[in-house]
Amino acid sequence: MGSLSAVGFALVSRFTLLTVAALVVALQIGHPVWIGLLSVVLLCIIGARMLSFYLRYGTIEYQRRGEFLVAYDRLLESPQWIATVGPGTDFSVINAIVDRLRDTGRLRITGVDSVDGGSVQFGPLSDLDEAINTLQLPVHQTERPERDPTIIAAAGGLLLFFLAVPAGLFLAPGIDSGTAYASLVVIGPFAVIHAGILLYVALSRI
């Protein structure tokens, strides 16, 4: 059910990006204390995300019991959620980046009374169409948005620009290393955040 690639995309958050940016700055400066501290923080984030992903999806199997769709947790030996397959429940395809890259699929199910918020995720699955047919789910459209080279090229170009600006500080002949490091500390986190957003936009239309 889960994979390291799925966990990797789940790591893309503002705090994680800021931590990575700070670690890059610490590596550039060569400060061992900050390098060690930020490395530990980053490893804790990765470990927590991997454990959370496994506990959330890695032990789940989906069962059809009459008019109900059940997400059964094999580890806890109990249902995680139960959705009624009927007019009051809506099934829609999630356009997740990791699914586009790995050729997997997942559904968003809304109108589920057994969970807070009334919304759950079905998948990711390697063959979403087969699962839909096997469980007889009322889903007739599983295609995601088509690949858009224009959006990919535009986002990719802007991404290269945001990455080139910090790199140019160290390559410019008139800027000393101290000024370059100071500028990197100021603009680095913002560049990483914008680069992450542009990367998301590009990958979402691959």
Same domain, 19 and 79: no
Same domain, 42 and 105: no
Same domain, 94 and 160: no
Same domain, 46 and 64: no
Per-residue confidence at 202, pLDDT binned at 50, 70, 90? Answer: low
Last residue of a domain, one of 24, 39, 58: 58
Q: What is the mean pLDDT of the chain?
A: 77
For residues 128 and 36, the answer to whether their CB atoms sit within 8 Å is no
Same domain, 67 and 50: no
CA pseudo-torsion sign 139, 145, 147, 152: negative
Residue 141 lies in a domain: no
Same domain, 49 and 67: no
* Dihedral, CA of residue 196, residue 197, residue 198 and residue 200, to nearest 10: 90
Size of the chain in residues: 206
CA pseudo-torsion sign 39, 41, 43, 45: negative
For residue 170, what are the domain limits? Answer: 146-206
Question: Each residue of 29-81: pLDDT tens digit?
Answer: 777 888 889 889 888 888 887 787 777 777 889 999 999 999 999 888 889 89
For residues 59 and 73, the answer to whether their CB atoms sit within 8 Å is yes
Same domain, 26 and 46: yes
Per-residue confidence at 203, pLDDT binned at 50, 70, 90? Answer: low
Residue 106 lies in a domain: yes
In angstroms, what CA-CA distances link 5 with 137, 150, 198?
27, 25, 19
pTM beyond 0.75, yes or no: no
- pLDDT recorded at residue 69: 94
Number of domains making up the chain: 3
Residue 24 lies in a domain: yes
Last residue of a domain, one of 97, 116, 135: 135
Closest CA to 205 of 145, 141, 124: 145
Closest CA to 182 of 25, 30, 34: 25
Last residue of a domain, one of 58, 76, 100: 58
| Cβ neighbours, 10 Å, residue 18 | 15
Same domain, 67 and 109: yes
Same domain, 130 and 64: yes
Question: Each residue of 98-156: pLDDT tens digit?
Answer: 777 777 888 999 988 888 888 898 988 888 889 999 999 988 877 765 666 676 677 67
Residue 140 lies in a domain: no
User: Which residue bears the tokens 């957003």?
Assistant: 197
Question: Each residue of 116-129: pLDDT tens digit?
Answer: 888 898 988 888 88
